[in-house]
Amino acid sequence: MCGIVGGVTNKDITTLLLEGLNHLEYRGYDSSGLIVLSKNNIFDRARSVGKVKNLEDNLKARDNKIKGNIGIAHTRWATHGEPTINNAHPHISMNSVSLVHNGIIENYVELKNDQLTKGYTFASETDTEVIAHAIDFAMKSCSTLISSVQLAIKSFSGSYGLGIISSKYPDQIIAARKGSPLVIGVGVNGNYIASDQMALLSVTKEFIFLEEGDIAEIKIDKITIYDLDGNLVDRPIKTSNLKPGQTDLGNYDHFMQKEIFEQPQAIRDTLESRITNDSVLISAFGDKAEEIVSRIKQVQIIACGTSYNAGLVAKYWLEDIAKIPCNVEVASEYRYRHPILLNNTLFITLSQSGETADTVEALKTAKKINNNISTLCITNSAESSLTRLSDLIFLTHAGPEIGVASTKSFTTQLVSLALLTCSIGKIKQVINKKQEREIVDGLKRLPGLINEALLQETQIKKLAIRFKTKNSALFLGRGTMHAIAMEGALKLKEISYIHAEAYPAGELKHGPIALIDKDMPVIAIAPNDELLEKLKSNLQEVKSRGSQMIVFEDENSKVQELEAMEVIPITSNLGRITAPIIFTIPLQLLSYHVALIKETDVDKPRNLAKSVTVE
């Protein structure tokens, strides 16, 4: 949550701060602000409620333009305190310290009460303001800004990514990271900080990824990094492969739309160098993958949101195809319930960003419970907390995903899990060469099959009109399609604000059928599999209650079209692995076009942010 950008440079920093905020807006858009050290080392700050455009308009309307060579900026996803001007970052203490913060200070009430007794006043309801006051107080006994920060953070419980400047030390920015990602951009005309490298691609492609507990002193020509214990450390400089154009809309109206249509290429990129003509390369999961997998006896998948739905699909694959027990759990629940974790478990974390706070903490908890487990991270981010904590790493090659509602990250995660299923099956000798060849064949067909499914967009647009006055919807599926129905319901509620639920179709009689009437649209998924005839019976049950129905089917499913029922053939001859991925596409398109009709903000839905880096 929240986006941070800052820099110390030999040029005016304001334009870069605004540009960086625009690239980081997917991380939060409740409010935004920036501050620079102007002439005579005076803080000059601007803040606005709402999206970054409001801040830009605010700056344009000012008579005195904000200019300076050192500054920090922030776009906020509200945690402590409502989205108001006073709660917007950056925060200032005593005109000596200003900072931006991503994370949560859990003991802020105790710190605030102590600071009130010391004479500090509070202008906001945030937990962040106590950080600024703590650093200002530490400066009274410390001779440098970085030693003041090192002293202050000893009193904090919780998580933080911090960018700090001081009017008393006008040549530097301090960056500190605990539980919230920060990168340093190494440039020609200066050095920079950001919570995501995308914010800095216009000025550098060289980045240092701070590790947990790191504190950095950043000057125009020098970067010094200390670990949590105060030891001087070297962190490697890495060159980013991202290009500025990858984060532009191009010819699309929204990032979500663009990312839906990027899925064929994202899947090609994820498969590249991971398969041969007829075989999955086990080494794609790491040099020790074969050794680790050969001794595992069960799989535990931990994830949140869309990634959790991908894990539910994989449970069917792993148990049905690879013949290995698999449990799937929501990360935020797993870490607090004192789970039993057996030896010889492969503990898999799924996260687009690799920084999802609950997933990171669940992994740490698991390693404390049983250090004999093996860990695998599947993520879209090479330099992330999860990759550093895991034995095995598999990178989806989805490319940047800006839309808050995940699309190509979900399908590339499914592809990754399919490759894993095949790899485990091979090593355990429960998948023969013929079966492996069929799986690889299906995976190679996916980009073409997705392109076919995307051709249904015009028809799906027409169906979306039905939802203009709807407030609820029900999604049905069986087997892996129940998890895909869950993903479809999640997408619809995320971006159109329609209440949507997903159920296994066989559970209708156990409660949900009471909801069904002519005002409740029902969306069903009908692949041509062993549960098709049972699903058809379930659809008859729904239809007899007068529901309006949409059925996405395999061409060979031959669902009988009834009154007030629309049957849309998506493709044909899908297998156990390809079917869930392909049936995801029409559900993504449906949610997108319903959101357009509802006139919601597709890419930045209310109350949500892309990367959930706080609890």
CATH code at position 101: 3.60.20.10
Instruction: Clarify whether residues 234 and 255 are in a common domain.
Output: no
Under the banding of pLDDT at 50, 70 and 90, the label for residue 615 is: low
Q: Tell me the CATH number at 466.
A: 3.40.50.10490
Domain boundary among 453, 481, 499: 453
| Residue 522 DSSP SS3 | strand
Residue 549's pLDDT is 81
Integer Cα distance of 404 and 406 in angstroms:
6
The band of 335, judged by pLDDT with boundaries at 50, 70 and 90, is confident
Model confidence at 385, pLDDT cuts 50, 70, 90, reads confident
Q: What is the model's pLDDT at position 423?
A: 95
Among 29-33, 170-174, 398-402, 555-559, the range with the most confident prediction by mean pLDDT is: 170-174
Q: What is the pLDDT of residue 580?
A: 94
Same domain flag for 447 and 463: no
* 548-587 burial: b if 16+ Cβ within 10 Å, else e: bbbbbbbeebebeeeeebbbbbbbeebebbbbbbbbbbbb
Residue 249: the pLDDT is 79
Q: Which of 408, 433, 453 is the last residue of a domain?
A: 453
Query: What's the chain's length in residues?
Result: 615
Q: Let me know whether 307 and 436 are in one domain.
A: yes
Residue 546's pLDDT band, with cuts at 50, 70 and 90, is low
Percent of the chain scoring above 90 in pLDDT: 66
Distance CA 54, CA 57 (A): 5
Q: What is the mean pLDDT of residues 570-594?
A: 92
Say what the pLDDT of residue 544 is. Answer: 62
**Same domain as 492, residue 430:** no
Mean pLDDT of 252-257: 92
Q: Are residues 387 and 528 in the same domain?
A: no
Residues 256 and 374 reside in one and the same domain: yes
Average pLDDT of span 603-614: 70
Of the pLDDT bands very low, low, confident and very high (cuts 50, 70, 90), residue 611 is: low
477 shares a domain with 601: yes
Give the H/E segment covering residue 395. strand 392-395
Whether residue 463 sits in one domain with residue 331: no
Question: Computed from CA positions of residues 160, 165, 169, 172, in that sequence, does the dihedral angle turn out positive or negative?
Answer: positive
pLDDT band for 245, please (50, 70, 90 cuts).
low
160 phi, psi to nearest 5 deg: -160, 145
Q: What is the mean pLDDT of residues 424-444?
A: 94
Q: Say if residue 613's pLDDT is above 60.
A: no
Contacts of 542 (CB under 8 A, 6+ apart): 476, 508, 513, 516, 522, 524, 549
Residues 120 and 171 grouped into a single domain: yes
Beta bridge partners of residue 4, listed in sequence order: 74
Query: Would you give the DSSP letter of residue 211?
Result: P
pLDDT tops 80 at residue 284:
yes
**Pick from 547, 490, 560, 562: which is nearest to 513 by CA?**
547
User: At residue 560, does pLDDT exceed 80?
Assistant: no
Give the model's pLDDT for residue 242: 73
- Is residue 64 predicted with pLDDT exceeding 90? no
d(CA 201, CA 33): 20
Claim to verify: residue 406 and residue 461 sit in the same structural domain: no
Decide which of 573 and 273 is more confident: 273
What is the sign, positive or negative, of the torsion defined by CA atoms of 435, 440, 443, 448?
Answer: negative
Token pair listed for 336: 């607090």
What DSSP string runs through 51-67? SHHHHHHHHHH-SS---
Catalytic residue IDs: 2, 610
H-type helices in 153-302, by residue range? 255-261, 263-271, 289-295
- Of the ranges 170-179, 186-195, 474-483, 605-614, which one carries the lowest mean pLDDT score? 605-614
- Total number of domains constituting the chain: 3
Neighbours of 437 (CB within 10 A): 14
pLDDT higher than 70, residue 581: yes
132 and 230 share a domain? yes
186: which 2 tokens? Answer: 């190494």
Nearest to 590 by CA among 407, 432, 316: 407
Q: In this model, does residue 105 exceed pLDDT 70?
A: yes
High-pLDDT (> 70) share of the chain, %: 97
Q: Is the pLDDT of residue 1 over 70?
A: no
Q: pLDDT at position 415, please?
A: 97
- CA pair distance 553, 538, nearest whole angstrom: 14
Q: Residue 277 CB: number of other CB atoms within 10 A?
A: 8
Q: What is the pLDDT of residue 612?
A: 62
Domain hosting 273: range is 249-453
- Please provide the average confidence, as pLDDT, over all residues in the chain: 90
pLDDT above 90 (res 151): yes
Q: Is the pLDDT of residue 155 over 90?
A: yes
- d(Cα 372, Cα 342) in Å, to the nearest integer? 8
Whether residues 268 and 231 share a domain: the answer is: no
Distances from the Cα of 299 to the Cα of 319, 376, 428, angstroms: 10, 10, 13
What tokens appear for 181 in the block? 């990602």
Of 193, 226, 247, the position where a domain reaches its end is 247
Of 119-128, 355-364, 464-473, 509-518, give the lowest mean pLDDT range: 509-518
